[in-house]
C-alpha cells in the first residue's frame, strides 16, 4: 500500500490555466506538507498543515492555495499558472503531536510543466 | 539566517569503497535532522532520522552522526554498491524544515 500518494504524476498545461494536485496519506499522520523542487533540485517548503490547520505558509504567491478537507488529505490548487511554476511538487506527511518530531514521508511527486 | 549546505555536490567512487557525505547547518537549535535518498525522477526515500538529543543512528550499511555544536552531520556508507547511486539530501528541522541541495553519488561497478 502506498503511504503517501499524489495525483496526477505528470501535469502539462498552458499559462493562465488553473490546476489542482491531490495528496493523500494512509499513515494516520497529523501533519502534511507541500514542497517545491525547482530545476536545480532544490527543495523548499511551501505549506504545512497540522490537523487541518495551516501552520506554515511560506512566501509563495497567493495564486497557490492549499486545502485540507481532513487529516489524510492536502490538496494544492494553483490559479493563473505561470512559466515559473514549472517544477516538481512533493507532498509529505509526519506525525508530530506529543510524541515529538518524527520523520517525514514523501509522495512520488507531481511534475508540473507550464507551456 | 538558517541554511543547510551539502558538500560535495557530486561524488564518484568505485564499488566497495567506504564514503562520507557531509551536511552542515548554521544554527545549532535544531529539532532533528533527516537523511534522504532521491533516485532520478522519483520521490524521496527516508534513510535515517536523528533527533537533536541523539549523536548517531545506524541502519544496515548506513550510519549518520550529528554534532549540533559544530553544525554538522555526516552520512557514512560502508562498502558502497552501484545500487547506492542516487542523490542524497539532508533536511534539518529548525522551526521548519530546510533542505540541502544534495550530493549526487555515483558508485561505479
The phi and psi torsions of B64 (rounded to 5 degrees) equal: -115, 135
Cell 488529505, residue?
Answer: A73
pLDDT on residue A1? 66
pLDDT on residue A88? 96
The mean pLDDT of chain B is 94
Tell me the per-residue pLDDT of A2-50, one tens digit each, with 9 for 90 and over: 699 999 999 999 999 999 999 999 999 999 999 999 888 889 999 998 8
Q: Which of A41-50, A106-115, B78-87 has the lowest mean pLDDT?
A: A41-50
Q: What is the DSSP letter of B96?
A: S
Give percent of chain B above pLDDT 70: 100
pLDDT on residue A98? 60
Mean pLDDT of B76-92: 97
Residue among B91, B58, B60, B71 nearest B26 (CA): B71
Cell numbers for B98: 530546510
pLDDT on residue A53? 82
pLDDT on residue B28? 83
Banded model confidence at residue A80, pLDDT cuts 50, 70, 90: very high
CA distance B67 to B73: 6
Query: How big is the A-B interface in CB pairs under 8 Å?
Result: 46
CA distance to partner chain B, nearest, from residue A111 (Å): 9
For chain B, strand residue ranges (E) read 4-7, 10-14, 19-25, 32-38, 44-51, 56-59, 62-67, 72-77, 86-93, 97-99, 103-108
Q: A33: nearest CA in chain B?
A: B97
User: What is the DSSP code string of A18-50?
Assistant: -EEEEEEE-S--SEEEEEEE-TT--EEEEEEEE
pLDDT on residue B50? 93
Question: Which residues in chain A are contacts of B102 at CB distance < 8 A?
Answer: 41
Cell numbers for A70: 481532513
Cell 550529528, residue?
Answer: B66
From residue A99, give the alpha-carbon distance in Å to each of A95, B7, B80, B101.
8, 32, 34, 29
Q: Which of A71-75, A89-93, A99-103 has the lowest mean pLDDT?
A: A99-103
pLDDT on residue B73? 97
For chain A, strand residue ranges (E) read 4-7, 10-13, 19-25, 31-37, 43-50, 53-57, 64-70, 73-78, 87-94, 105-106, 110-114
- Residue B48: is its pLDDT beyond 80? yes
Name the residue facing A45 among B32, B44, B96 (closest C-beta): B96
Tell me the per-residue pLDDT of A95-106, one tens digit each, with 9 for 90 and over: 886 655 678 999
Q: A47: nearest CA in chain B?
A: B96
The phi and psi torsions of A18 (rounded to 5 degrees) equal: -110, 135
pLDDT on residue A99? 57
Amino acid at each position: 500500500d502506498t503511504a503517501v500518494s499524489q495525483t496526477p504524476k505528470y501535469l502539462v498545461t498552458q499559462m493562465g490555466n488553473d490546476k489542482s494536485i491531490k495528496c493523500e496519506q494512509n499513515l494516520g499522520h497529523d501533519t502534511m506538507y507541500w514542497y517545491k523542487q525547482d530545476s536545480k533540485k532544490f527543495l523548499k517548503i511551501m505549506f504545512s498543515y497540522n490537523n487541518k490547520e495551516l501552520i506554515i505558509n511560506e512566501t509563495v504567491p497567493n495564486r497557490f492555495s492549499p486545502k485540507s478537507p481532513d487529516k489524510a488529505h492536502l490538496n494544492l490548487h494553483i490559479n493563473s499558472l505561470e512559466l515559473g511554476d514549472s517544477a516538481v511538487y512533493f507532498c509529505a506527511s509526519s506525525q508530530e503531536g506529543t510524541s515529538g518530531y518524527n520523520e517525514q514521508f514523501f509522495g512520488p511527486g507531481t511534475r508540473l510543466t507550464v507551456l | 539566517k538558517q541554511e543547510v549546505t551539502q558538500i560535495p555536490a557530486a561524488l564518484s567512487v568505485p564499488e566497495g569503497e567506504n564514503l562520507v557525505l557531509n551536511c552542515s547547518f548554521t544554527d545549532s537549535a535544531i529539532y532533528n535532522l533527516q537523511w534522504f535518498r532521491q533516485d532520478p525522477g522519483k520521490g524521496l526515500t527516508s534513510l535515517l532520522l536523528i533527533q537533536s538529543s541523539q549523536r548517531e543512528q545506524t541502519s544496515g550499511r548506513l550510519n549518520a552522526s550529528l554534532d549540533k555544536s559544530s553544525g554538522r552531520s555526516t552520512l557514512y556508507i560502508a562498502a558502497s554498491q552501484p545500487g547506492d547511486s542516487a542523490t542524497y539530501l539532508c533536511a534539518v528541522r529548525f522551526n521548519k524544515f530546510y533542505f540541502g541541495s544534495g550530493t549526487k553519488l555515483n558508485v561505479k561497478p
